[in-house]
Structure 1
Amino acid sequence: MKRPEPTPDPVQRLQIRFGAAGPLKYVSHLDLMRVWERVCKRAGLPLATSHGFSPRPKIALAAPLAVGVTSGAELLDVLLTERVDLTSTLRRLSDELTPGLSIHEIRESPLKQSSLQSMLKAAEYVVEVPDPRPMDKWRTAIDALLAQDEIPWSHRRGKETKSYDLRKMVFDLDVAGTQDGVATLTMRLRNDEQGAGRPEQVVLALGATAEPTRIHRTAIELSSETVPA
């Protein structure tokens, strides 16, 4: 088998902050990566690729977005073999966006910067839950959860049951308000090599019996910065 031609080394790294909503709420992490590959190729970006017999574009998302969750603060790393102008690149990408995608910012980051995945620290969410409890009852439940040193927890993912300490996944938690039987919670959850907090599991730990009707990621926190929506 003939070896593929060597690909040029990257000369520029772009970091794209974007939102994912609408139909993308039901798209898997892998499919969202494919969406961005198509967008970048249609925009004519000189994408760097991996080596080997099946080269892939060197683009990577900071953190998987669970199916059913929307976001205004996702991060995408893109490595290029030629330098591009940020303003014109934003315009070209915007012309190719699929419904549900929105670009908030494009900036250049250091070429030798660590991967976004290795820099992950936490993620912030706004969660809406159908629940008749008033504010004071929610605050009591939140205070009780945060006061615990450990919360042994398990939930099923597909055919597997995952067991862990839920308390270690929760950095901050509050109730922003209640209206018409719906509570709005804000959460700052762990998202690093030790694990990723899941908002719907925190809701269960707070005693809610209904599933959240909305989970929206508002920020991704890296080891050196916070990327807000």
Structure 2
Amino acid sequence: MRSRVVQRLRVTYGVDGPLCYASLLDMLGLWERLLRRARVPVAYSQGYNPHQRLQFGSPLPVGYSSECEPLDVFLAERMAPLVFARAVVGQAPAGLTIAQVLEVPLRGPALQSVMRAAHYRVRICARQGEEQVRAAVSQLLGRAFIVRQRIRKRRTVDYDLRRLINDIRYACADGNWHELHMDLACGMGGSGRPEEIIDEMGVTVSHRSIHRCRLIWGKGQESR
């Protein structure tokens, strides 16, 4: 039987280490087990196979680290955000950190429907020097269209990567490593992927790391 929902808590959490390689389904299972161990009174869906009422924001791609992932947890009994945070932190595995827990309106929109943009800190180890990497960023931003392909529902579809790029800034260099700050679209209309941008820059990259540091959704709200 479906649980009555009385409260909605928005958790902002971080992912690092081996957890960066967890898929969305892996992360869902992790949170379900974590909430059970923490004895959180989560509300359940109805049907023959009831599941916990959890709602993620924009799924974090495999291989990314993050400090700003939002998760809405729907509760069958009220629980103070601080009490919730303490209970979850006590059971959290290595690599999962809790940054914030807030109560949000119970009947507010789904997180995925209001996502607008994501900010990334990207580090690449490239054969090219700072001047060449800066030039590659400028040339990419100067392009009117960047047509690429993705597989969707077993079909190959074309899309314009350029319209998903809000801004890219060269931040700093440390030897062969270059840090870029990327502001990309992230929502129902499409999401920019940093690794696709690196590919389009035309530089020779041997290693990279991608960290999501902020998510922006409707009306100027953000997760950071």
Length-normalised TM-score, structure 1: 0.91
CA RMSD in angstroms, aligned pairs only: 1.8
**Is the alpha carbon distance of 1:157 and 1:137 closer, same or farther for their aligned partners in structure 2, counting shifts above 3 Å?**
farther
Q: Distance in 1 between matches of 2:49 and 2:108?
A: 25
Moved more, 211-220 or 85-94: 211-220
The aligned counterpart of 1:85 is: 80
The answer to whether the aligner puts 1:121 opposite 2:116 as a matched pair is yes
**Which residue number in structure 2 is paired with residue 227 of structure 1?**
223
Conserved? CA contact 2:136–2:203, under 8 Å: no
- Within 5 Å, give how 1:22-41 maps onto structure 2: 22-41=17-36
Once residues 137 and 58 of structure 1 are traced to their aligned partners in structure 2, the CA distance between those partners, rounded to angstroms, is: 49
Q: Secondary structure at the match of 1:110?
A: coil
**2: CA distance, partners of 1:159 / 1:16:** 34
- Contact kept? 1:33, 1:60, Cα under 8 Å: no
Q: Say whether 1:145 aligns with 2:140.
A: yes
- For residue 170 of structure 1, report the CA deviation from its aligned partner: 0.6
Deviations 1:160-194 (A, max 9, x none): 64521110111110111111111111101111112
Instruction: Check if 1:50 corresponds to 2:45.
Output: yes
Structure 2 residue 149 is the aligned partner of structure 1 residue 154: yes
2:222 counterpart letter in structure 1: T
C-alpha contact 2:128 2:204 (8 A) present in aligned 1: no
Quote how far apart the aligned CAs of 1:159 are. Answer: 7.3
Per-residue deviation, 1:156: 6.3
Query: Cα distance 1:45–1:226, how it changes in 2: closer, same or farther (>3 A)?
Result: same
Q: Which residue of the partner structure matches residue 3 of structure 1? A: none
Contact 1:125–1:215, Cα closer than 8 Å, also in 2? yes
Checking the alignment, whether the CA contact within 8 Å between 1:120 and 1:222 is kept in structure 2 is yes
Question: What is the count of residue pairs matched by the alignment?
Answer: 223
Deviates more, 1:103-112 or 1:148-157: 148-157
- Per the alignment, do residues 145 and 98 of structure 1 end up closer, same or farther by CA in structure 2, a change over 3 Å counting? same
Q: Is 1:133 aligned with 2:128?
A: yes
SS in structure 2 opposite 1:218?
strand
Per-residue CA deviation, residues 60-86 of structure 1 (Å, 9 max, x unaligned), is 210111111110110000000111112
TM value normalised by structure 2: 0.93
Does structure 2 conserve the Cα–Cα contact (< 8 Å) formed by 1:200 and 1:211?
Answer: no
- Aligned-pair CA distance for 1:130: 1.1
* Structure 1 residues 99 and 15, CA gap change in structure 2 (3 angstroms): same
8 Å CA contact 1:61–1:76 kept in 2: the answer is: yes
Please report how far the alpha carbon of residue 133 of structure 1 lies from its aligned counterpart in structure 2 after TM superposition: 2.9
Deviations 1:61-112 (A, max 9, x none): 1011111111011000000011111212111110110111000000000001
For 1:117, what is the secondary structure of its paired residue? helix
Contact 2:126 2:206 in 1 (8 A): no
The equivalent position to 1:168 in structure 2, one of 158, 163, 170, is 163
* Structure 1 gaps, min length 5: 1-5
- What is the CA-CA distance between 1:152 and the residue it aligns to? 1.1
How has the CA–CA distance of structure 1 residues 159 and 181 changed in structure 2, closer, same or farther, with 3 Å as cutoff? farther
List runs of 5+ in structure 2 lacking aligned partners: none
Aligned pair partner of 1:182 in 167, 177, 195: 177
Matched to 2:78, the amino acid is R
CA distance in 2, matches of 1:109, 1:115: 11
Shift of 1:142: 1.6
**DSSP 3-state at the match of 1:133:** coil
